[in-house]
Amino acid sequence: MVEPQPHRLTLPNGLRVVLAPDAEPGADAPGGPPVVGISVHYDVGFRSEPQGRTGFAHLFEHLMFQGSESLEKLAHFRHVQGSGGIFNGSTHQDYTDYFQVLPSNALERGLFLEADRMRAPRITEENLRNQVDVVKEEIRLNVLNRPYGGFPWILLPPVLYSTFANAHNGYGDFTDLEQATVEDCAAFFDTYYAPGNAVLTVAGDIDVDHAAELVHKHFGDVPARPVPERPSFDEPYPETQQWGRHRDPHAPLPAVALGHRLPDPVEELDSYLANVVLGEILTDGDASRLQQRLVYRDSLVVDIHAGAGLMGAPLDARNPDTFTITAAHSPGVSTERVMEAIDSELDRLATEGPTSEELSRVAARWSAELYRDHDRLISRTLDLGSTELLHGRAELVGELPERVGAVTAEDVAAAAKALRPETRAVLEIEPSNDSEGGAA
């Protein structure tokens, strides 16, 4: 499967644009359905928020839906939904994205909407206070009142990392959120939401020349502003095993998360992809190593997962990124026993490497999942935009199946060997006494 190559342009205000049609003009293969995907990725995530303002990047994502220069509150919702489209946004470690999928005849409407809020979102005291309350309720729902809420992406980083940027809670502390001001929001917008700090992606049923004309029409007069220097968030590896514990009153069973530093996903991509393959070999499917050993053979855990990417997906961040192994186990099984079994399987892989059948299975499944995801226009649009922002090459999306397929047994063995106990973080989840009693 060969995807059409993306087309690029850069506007005078610095906005980078990726245009990805379903098919090239004159191609024999027919195009896709008459829909378009639009995304804007801003080069700011929760690692960029200042100390004392935890959760600010996510809070600002909410504010971007509260009206803009030419549109009152909720107008964005009405225009997209009235066209039969969908929309949303999300905040990540190193970027914030906004996206919508619309019928192709509503392309100009979607571009106008994104350009209008890039020009000037409607930041008011009323909107800010309202969205602080919305975010606090989201935290209550997804973290505070949910079993294993924030596990591991909120709870593991402060054990593995030492700097504020990498270790703090990206969802936000209630006190920090409540102290946010309109002036803080205006400064955040001026600093990070400049056109030159963003990537606009338009994919699907588009004519490249017409789409480029509309992009110039709607984004060309968004004022240019200085682009902040991108900081390095790198920090030294731990020199000893780090250990943390968290009591979860809603958790029915104990759990453990192991966190390891990964190779730089941009500068050491092939080594990073070896860890992606390693994660799949360890826990993807019933035939995987840790499923067979810890679930079926030794009955040590009831659930286990391993993989690259702190927030559950690989290639979703710059350096540093995290390889995580998480497991839920019965109260009668110690954390140390679970870890010993995991380390035993990692040692075996480091010594013997995976089999050719394991490599083939992972490559086939990973490629099939990527192609299936890219059949969904919104997934394709978002992946092109994030890859352009993080790696500078949206084309990488189409190259990944081949690069994953090129990972060798020796590469995976080296990745397993690098997951050393002395440089990892261990986070234990302890259920409340009531939960433990119920489980017993």
pTM of the model: 0.94
Q: Are residues 143 and 249 in the same domain?
A: no
Ramachandran angles phi, psi of 70, nearest 5°:
-105, -5
Quick check: is 237 in a domain? no
Which helix (H) or strand (E) element contains residue 170?
none
Residues 78 and 152 grouped into a single domain? yes
Flag whether 2 is in a domain: no
Assess whether the previous peptide bond of 33 is cis (omega < 30° from 0): no
What angle, 0 to 180 degrees and rounded to 10, lies between the N-to-C axes of helices 396-405 and 377-391? 90
Q: In the prediction, which pLDDT does 74 show?
A: 87
**What pLDDT does 290 receive?**
97
Same domain, 287 and 205: no
Predicted confidence at residue 3, as pLDDT, reads 60
- 229 domain residue, yes or no: no
pLDDT at 371: 85
Same domain, 259 and 152: no
Residues contacting residue 353 through CB under 8 Å, at least 6 positions apart = 409, 410, 412, 413
Q: Are residues 130 and 262 in the same domain?
A: no
Determine phi and psi for 270, rounding to 5 degrees: -65, -40
Range of the domain at 289: 242-439
Residues 343 and 417 in one domain: yes
**CA distance to 56, 96, 126, 128, 313, per residue, from 169 (Å):** 10, 16, 25, 20, 18
Residues in the chain: 440
From first to last of the 440 residues of the chain, give the pLDDT tens digit.
Answer: 446 689 999 999 999 999 999 976 555 545 678 999 999 999 999 999 999 999 999 999 999 999 998 999 889 999 999 999 999 999 999 999 999 999 999 999 999 999 999 999 999 999 999 999 999 999 999 999 999 999 999 999 999 999 999 999 999 999 999 999 999 999 999 999 999 999 999 999 999 999 999 999 999 999 999 999 999 999 999 999 999 999 999 999 999 999 999 999 999 999 999 999 999 999 999 999 999 999 999 999 999 999 999 998 999 999 999 999 999 999 999 999 999 999 999 999 999 999 999 999 999 998 898 888 888 999 999 999 999 999 999 999 999 999 999 999 999 999 999 999 999 999 999 998 654 433 32
CATH number at residue 178: 3.30.830.10
> Phi and psi dihedrals of 29, rounded to 5?
-70, 140
Residues 209 and 285 in one domain: no
- Residue 386 phi/psi, 5° resolution? -70, -35
How many folded domains does the chain comprise?
2
Whether 215 and 247 share a structural domain: no
CA 179 to chain centre: 27
- The answer to whether residue 232 is domain-embedded is no
H helices within 180-256, ranges in order?
182-192, 208-219
Domain check: are 211 and 316 in the same one?
A: no
Note the Cα 79 to chain centre separation in Å.
Answer: 27
- 325 pairs with which residues across the strands? 258, 306
Same structural domain, 215 and 252: no
Structure-token pair, residue 147 = 């079993």
Is 230 inside any structural domain?
Answer: no
| pLDDT for 440 | 28
Res 301: pLDDT: 97
Stretch (H or E) spanning 221: none
Of 187, 219, 251, which closes a domain? 219
Answer whether 431's CB lies under 8 Å from 439's CB: yes
CA separation for the pair 354, 362 (Å, rounded): 11
Both 23 and 142 in one domain: the answer is: yes
Residue 323, beta-bridge partner list: 260, 308
DSSP, res 142? I
203 in a domain, yes or no?
A: yes
